[in-house]
């Protein structure tokens, strides 16, 4: 288990760049630094394509840290009953962990326990058990590299495993690893939770990572998410962990992820303005 998490604010790389080419990586990292963030969250959808040395050099150049997220696909779905698909999922998750460790990151988050997308029916007991076993393997692998894993609770259209924070906590009970935490996202909470406080207060020190996103994924404060209640709940549990601003627009596109997340609308076109105002919005409330 890693040491106590520092309170830090970060921005998702897709606020600035849709790829991790040398140009895209520089644009994202410099943008996050320019906006005043402590770290950038890199989407490791294909960790084999990440230039580790380049990324480390850019992080050092702009005095920024990095964490990482990803979502699995049908071909890497660890809830599958096909052992070859599970093996591919393990391989991807372990590679992402290796890359994160190599660039000095401490937090791996996202939909790492299943495929990111709409399932045709509810998860079977076997699907759930396979997911739990995969997260146990991942947590053990990550612990050896001093990395935490954070399981993101997402809405019913993106998983059939855990849709609320309380379900996530029950899932973590079964994973039963000290470096496995809950990851809450206000965009998804706004769809699925009874309110914005309950799961936060119940999670307490098991909440390890937070995504701040508006109901339409645009500028914070222009949708219908009750951010005031959410941040008050974070204060009540003295949350210590990363807080990432996450926003998507058709202005910045990663072909695979944007399609999966249904990013059809152009909600903003000025990454720097969006990012700076988001950081100000969050710090005013926490």
Look at the block and give the residue holding tokens 């372990």: 94
Q: Tell me the pairing of strands 207-212 and 39-43.
A: unpaired
Which entry of 41, 193, 197, 246 is annotated as an active-site residue? Answer: 246
Active site residue 23: no
Distance CA 258, CA 277 (A): 23
Q: What angle do helix axes 125-143 and 83-102 make, rounded to 10 degrees?
A: 30
Q: Which residues of 189-207 are buried (b: 16+ CB within 10 A; e: fewer)?
A: bbebbeebbbbbebbeeeb
Active site residue 246: yes
Which entry of 41, 107, 152, 158 is annotated as an active-site residue? Answer: 152
Determine contact, residues 223/216, Cβ cutoff 8 Å.
Answer: yes
Both structure tokens of 19: 């790829």
State the catalytic residues: 152, 246
């Amino acid at each position: 288990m890693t040491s106590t998490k520092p309170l830090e604010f970060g921005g998702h790389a897709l606020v600035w760049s849709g790829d991790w080419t040398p140009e895209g990586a520089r644009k994202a990292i410099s943008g996050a630094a320019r906006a005043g963030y402590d770290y950038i969250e890199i989407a490791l959808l294909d960790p084999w394509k990440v230039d580790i040395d380049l990324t480390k050099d850019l992080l050092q150049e702009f005095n920024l840290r990095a964490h990482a997220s990803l979502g699995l696909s049908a071909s890497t779905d660890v809830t599958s009953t096909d052992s070859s698909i599970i093996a591919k999922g393990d391989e991807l998750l372990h590679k992402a962990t290796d890359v994160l460790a190599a660039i000095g990151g401490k937090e791996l988050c996202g939909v790492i326990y299943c495929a990111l997308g709409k399932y045709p029916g509810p998860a079977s007991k076997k699907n759930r058990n396979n997911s739990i076993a995969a997260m146990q393997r991942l947590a053990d692998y990550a612990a050896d590299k001093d990395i935490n894993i954070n399981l993101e609770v997402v809405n019913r259209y993106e998983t059939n495993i855990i849709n609320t924070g309380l379900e996530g906590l029950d899932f973590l009970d079964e994973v039963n690893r000290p470096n496995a935490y809950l990851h809450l996202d206000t965009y998804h909470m706004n769809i699925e939770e009874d309110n914005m406080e309950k799961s936060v207060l119940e999670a307490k020190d098991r909440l390890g990572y937070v995504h701040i996103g508006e109901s339409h994924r645009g500028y914070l404060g222009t949708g219908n998410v009750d951010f005031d209640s959410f941040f008050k709940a974070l204060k009540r549990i003295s949350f210590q962990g990363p807080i990432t601003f996450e926003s998507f627009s058709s202005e910045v596109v990663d072909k695979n992820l944007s399609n999966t997340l249904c990013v059809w609308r152009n909600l903003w076109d000025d990454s720097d303005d969006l990012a700076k105002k988001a950081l100000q919005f969050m710090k005013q409330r926490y």
